[in-house]
Amino acid sequence: MDHEFDLLKSPFSYDVETVADELEMELIDLQADNALKSSFEKKPLIKFYESLHSEKIKNVKEFARKMFVLFASTYICEQTFSSMKINKSKNRSLLTDSNPLAVFRISTSSFEPEVNNVVDACSRLHQSH
């Protein structure tokens, strides 16, 4: 697995003879392209791989995509475990069967509530006395 991370972070200096057959020719083409090398030096790693022409170097781009997904899924798992650890301590007695699912959903969601809209909607409500 370490050699795959080395390939991901340094595709221009990686030994072509040690890669999988489906990557070998594409990696040779990649290393021979000075414009791509310049792009690699100027851009962040993920932006560089996003900019690769998908037909010309599709297997290298797919390899990078799979490697980057490892980081994202690991982050979500760690985030979930951390939130459950917090709930396990002081809020343990409040957990019911439905609460852990809600905690998982909230802790791993990228949903941003529109608090201002909710507050505005509440302030427009006039309750009679």
pLDDT band at residue 112, thresholds of 50, 70 and 90?
confident
Residue 4: the pLDDT is 86
Highest mean predicted confidence (pLDDT) among 53-62, 70-79, 107-116: 53-62
**Domain edges within the chain:** 2-123
Q: How far apart are CA 108 and CA 44, in angstroms?
A: 25
Q: How many H helices and E strands in the chain?
A: 7, 0
Please determine, for residue 38, whether its predicted confidence score (pLDDT) is greater than 90: yes
